[in-house]
Chain A
Amino acid sequence: MEIIRKQVIQRVDPESQERGTTAGQAPAQELGTQLIPKERYTSDAFMRREWEEIWTKVWLLGCREDQIPQPGDFMCTNIGTESVLLVRQHDGGVRAFYNVCMHRGNRLADEGLAHTDEFSCSYHDWRYQLDGRFADIPDLHTFPQGAPPCDGLREIPCDTWASFVWFSLNQEVEPLREYLGEVAEHMEHYHFERMAMTRWVTAEWNCNWKASVDAFSESYHTARTHPQLLWYLDDFNVQIDLYDKHSRYLIPFGVLSPRVESAPEIPPPLKVLMKNAGIDPASYEGSIGDIRQAVQKHMRANQESLGKDYSDLNDDQLTDDYNYLIFPNINLNTHADDLMLFRNRPHPSDPNRMLFDIWMFELLPQGEPWPELPKHDFRPEGSHRSLGLVIDQDAANLASVQAGMNSAAYPGLWLSDQELRIRHFHKTIGDMVGD
């Protein structure tokens, strides 16, 4: 699938754009062309270094704020070998604690959403208030040394940003907003807090967590892995922006790929894009090449009748995929009307396995009632239930990629400029683990 057409994508001018996330190109970074050693994906030793130098150092995404609206609502989420409680407080704030009873080490809750007035250990009934402090230690007088000096659950840094709850296993972590850097401001234009959560899935995948991050950080695989998308987006004229730890790329939607010569009629996925924007494909008189801009114009002009507020987005954001990686493990496909967020979590002990979380959000027309929060949908290893066509296509590659990476014949990743975000991702990893 060669590139057979020269395609010029009209983009908003970053110098003169009046609204929305900056379309400006970040300064280039010198990242070299060296091979990325495969041990980063396959070795137990590297996995342990990642735990010490990355997972226990950075900010990690825990849940949506509206999943825990009332005091006593909490999310229990695991990361690697740890488990964490994110707890809505009586004062409306959120605090985070290690999910472990300070008596004999029992976990206090299973992963997932729940509500409680106090946490109680299922072993000896030690009890903790929502703020983590001991509520009751049965037969305390039989502990001659008294209660543990920690005074309750071990608390960790916790903060909220853009409707999401974050935590860190690093007591010395920098402020969340500082950690997110400029990409926080970029994404605030989407107002995720206005979007309703519609899907919450976790799938067990047989690959390293980075293999999954990689798959959502480059568009070079589109032609072979997702041929249907060649009739919907430009997989080649993609703007890549590398920041400090984080990165993004901007993929034009609503156009044919330059790997496709022409379409005999409006391709079905473009029809969906048009219909979602309120344009009848049968009544559309323009050319297929003009659909992207027609959709942008239509959405801008009709946002009131669509019941949507796009005033904080630039025109490209009305169609395109502004795709962010928040280091180390959050891929955000941001669109005007929805957010597809992927959280890639390492397996507690096996570099060849991971947990893939899908969180979907939708901007509903104003006044339309929000759906109930989605229930957690868990797909154990070997599940063949579809996660959606595009993700199924990626998942089909990943187990095979991981198996191949373990081959004696394979030295590591040989990357193109189309995969620059992966190179940047690995530079950050290398800097942190000292590799």
Chain B
Amino acid sequence: MDLGLTGKRALVPGSTKGILRHVVEQLVDEGCDVAICSRSPETVARALRELSGGRGNVFGRACDVLDKDDYESWIGEMAEAMGGVDIFIAGVSAGGGDDSEKNWWKNFEVDVLSTVRGCEAVVPQMQQAGGGAITLVGTTASLETFGTPQAYNALKGSLLVYGKQLSQSVGRDKIRVNSVSPGPIYFEGGVWAMLKDTMARWFEKTLREHPQGRMGTPEEVASCIVFLSSPVASWVSGTNMVVDGGFTKRVQF
């Protein structure tokens, strides 16, 4: 199936590793141009080198999404370099933690505010382009009780509300807004690879709760994000796609 991504232009901040890195790779394979960033110039330079030569072009520079001005400049520069924006994938996160109140501020600023700022900056770009797709990356930790009560779970959950309501307000501009909620995803260098060593019991317990007896891979989440962000999903908007291999136990009506 042709996803219809050839020639499209995607913004994927915070995408030099993990799930979002795989999103970038799949988009490039589909012939989509992609703009990337992360905080470290070295990491961005390496990712640009590694991603070059694919079907789509890759642009990028170091940018801290916490810095409003810098982040908005990055969006503007990348849109100009690609000649517009059709797709925005927002999945940057400060990660989990229940150390202190500071976790709430960090998840608010990194997870929530950077997503909102990004959406507000790309909507005019997409209006200009005659439509677009925004895909927010959440977590199943918002959908069912998971770990300790903490900012990551609650504030990622707030983005489900925001994404749904945004989809209503920008629908007439042919902009679709969806969320993807991955369950635990295992990859070398990822959080679960670290927890396998450092919190072995928690890791094993979480693994046992997966019907297929394994955690997901970044590729498996990335392909769902790419699908939802592609024109093939033209009649999907305002939804939350749970990508967890059946990990969550609730019935999703």
Name the B residues within 8 Å of A281 (CB-CB). Answer: 97, 99
A268 to B96, CA, bound (A): 11
Asked if B198 contacts A267 (CB within 8 A), the reply is yes
Asked if B191 contacts A265 (CB within 8 A), the reply is yes
Q: Is A2 an interface residue (CB 8 A)?
A: no
Name the A residues within 8 Å of B106 (CB-CB). Answer: 282
Name the B residues within 8 Å of A268 (CB-CB). Answer: 195, 198-199
Asked if A271 contacts B99 (CB within 8 A), the reply is yes
Partner of B194, one of A263, A280, A283: A263
A232 to B100, CA, bound (A): 21
Q: Is B103 an interface residue (CB 8 A)?
A: yes
**Nearest chain A CB to B162's CB is how many angstroms away?**
23
Q: Is A157 an interface residue (CB 8 A)?
A: no
B94-112 contact mask (Cβ, 8 Å, vs A): 1 or 0: 0111011011001000000
A249-281 contact mask (Cβ, 8 Å, vs B): 1 or 0: 000000000000111110111010001000011
Q: Is B200 an interface residue (CB 8 A)?
A: yes
**Nearest chain A CB to B105's CB is how many angstroms away?**
8
Name the B residues within 8 Å of A231 (CB-CB). Answer: 194, 197-198
Given contacts A228-B197, A228-B200, contact A282 B191 (CB under 8 A): no
Q: Is A60 an interface residue (CB 8 A)?
A: no
A124 to B191, CA, bound (A): 68
A319 to B67, CA, bound (A): 34
A-B interface contact total, Cβ < 8 Å = 49
Name the B residues within 8 Å of A262 (CB-CB). Answer: 189
A335 to B199, CA, bound (A): 23
Most B-side CB within 10 Å, residue of A264, A265, A268: A264
A280 to B98, CA, bound (A): 10
**Nearest chain B CB to A237's CB is how many angstroms away?**
19
Q: Is A240 an interface residue (CB 8 A)?
A: no
Partner of A264, one of B99, B190, B199: B190
Asked if B194 contacts A264 (CB within 8 A), the reply is yes
B79-123 contact mask (Cβ, 8 Å, vs A): 1 or 0: 000000000000000011101101100100000000000000000
Q: Is A230 an interface residue (CB 8 A)?
A: yes
Name the A residues within 8 Å of B100 (CB-CB). Answer: 280, 282-283
A: interface residue count bin: 10 to 19
Given contacts A231-B197, A264-B194, contact A282 B189 (CB under 8 A): no
The chain B residue with its CB closest to the CB of A269 is B198
**Nearest chain A CB to B66's CB is how many angstroms away?**
11
The chain A residue with its CB closest to the CB of B101 is A282
Asked if A264 contacts B197 (CB within 8 A), the reply is no
**Nearest chain A CB to B68's CB is how many angstroms away?**
18
B37-59 contact mask (Cβ, 8 Å, vs A): 1 or 0: 00000000000000000000000
The chain B residue with its CB closest to the CB of A280 is B100
Name the B residues within 8 Å of A271 (CB-CB). Answer: 97, 99
The chain B residue with its CB closest to the CB of A268 is B198
Asked if A265 contacts B95 (CB within 8 A), the reply is yes
Asked if B99 contacts A227 (CB within 8 A), the reply is no
Partner of A228, one of B96, B189, B191, B198: B198
Name the A residues within 8 Å of B95 (CB-CB). Answer: 264-265
**Nearest chain A CB to B50's CB is how many angstroms away?**
16
**Nearest chain B CB to A231's CB is how many angstroms away?**
5
Name the A residues within 8 Å of B190 (CB-CB). Answer: 264
Give me the interface of B with A, judged by CB distance under 8 Å: 18, 95-97, 99-100, 102-103, 106, 189-191, 194-200
20 contacts between A and B (CB under 8 A): A227-B200, A228-B197, A228-B198, A231-B198, A262-B189, A263-B194, A264-B95, A264-B189, A265-B97, A265-B191, A269-B198, A271-B97, A271-B99, A280-B102, A282-B97, A282-B99, A282-B100, A282-B103, A282-B106, A283-B100
The 4 A-B residue pairs whose C-beta atoms are closest, nearest first, are A282-B102, A282-B99, A227-B197, A283-B102
